[in-house]
Amino acid sequence: MQVIDQTQRRVFNAEKVPASEKIVSLFEEHTDIIVKAKRDTQYGHKINLATQIDGFVAYLNIEHGNPSDKVLVMPVLAAIKKDYGCVPVEAVADGGYASQTNVEQAREQGVDRAVFNKRCGLGFHQMGIQRKTFDRLRNFRAGIEGNISELKRAFGMGKATWKGHDGFCAYIWSCALSYNLVRMVRFSSG
């Protein structure tokens, strides 16, 4: 019935149907529409994750809908503080998370240096850092991209194959757990 309603609204009434009301898959109804800036539209779920300095996945959340990255910084810090009892001294995130509010709120939570790999309108002084610190943390962020690439390619996180929303969530969490276990073995044997 929702497919018929959606079709009637879009095709016959020329109405713009909000993404949250659209069905984009008849087989996986939980699928969200993900629009990434100027890139192509993707379908699935937005995964928000954070890693420790040694590459272990320290935080993972499967988001609902397509929330702006800017609103996802503080939930990560709050979860890390809850789980680990403290926040990192330094934190670096993708440019999509960049905002002066996030810098200020991160400082209030105890993060000394909050940096975004693309400054997106924020100067070094606004982030409270020097160029040398920015470059060092940006280079560290490049390593995080390597971890994400490994999660997608070697551990299959790029395309979940288990059906239904619960299957999707279980698949993503199993990828992260497997990744952390393999990383643990690498550290203990090296």
Tell me the pTM: 0.76
Residues 6+ apart with CB under 8 A from 139: none
Catalogue all structural domains in the chain, each as residue range(s) with its CATH number: 2-43 (no CATH), 45-189 (3.30.420)
Averaged pLDDT, 100-117: 90
d(CA 42, CA 36): 8
143-175 pLDDT, tens per residue? 888 889 999 999 999 888 888 889 899 999 999
User: Mean pLDDT for the chain?
Assistant: 85
Report the largest interatomic distance among the alpha carbons of the chain, rounded to a whole angstrom.
64
**Residues paired with residue 92 on neighbouring β-strands, in sequence order:** 115
DSSP per residue over 16-57, as a string? Answer: ---GGG----SS-TTPEEEE-TTS-EEEE--EEEEE-TTS-E
Q: At what angle do helices 131-153 and 164-189 cross, to 10 degrees?
A: 120
Q: What is the Cα–Cα distance from 68 to 21, expressed in whole angstroms?
A: 18
Q: What is the pLDDT of residue 1?
A: 66
Whether 109 shows a pLDDT value over 80: the answer reads: yes
Give the pLDDT confidence of 171-188 residue by residue, as tens digits: 999 999 999 999 999 888
pLDDT of the residue at 156: 93
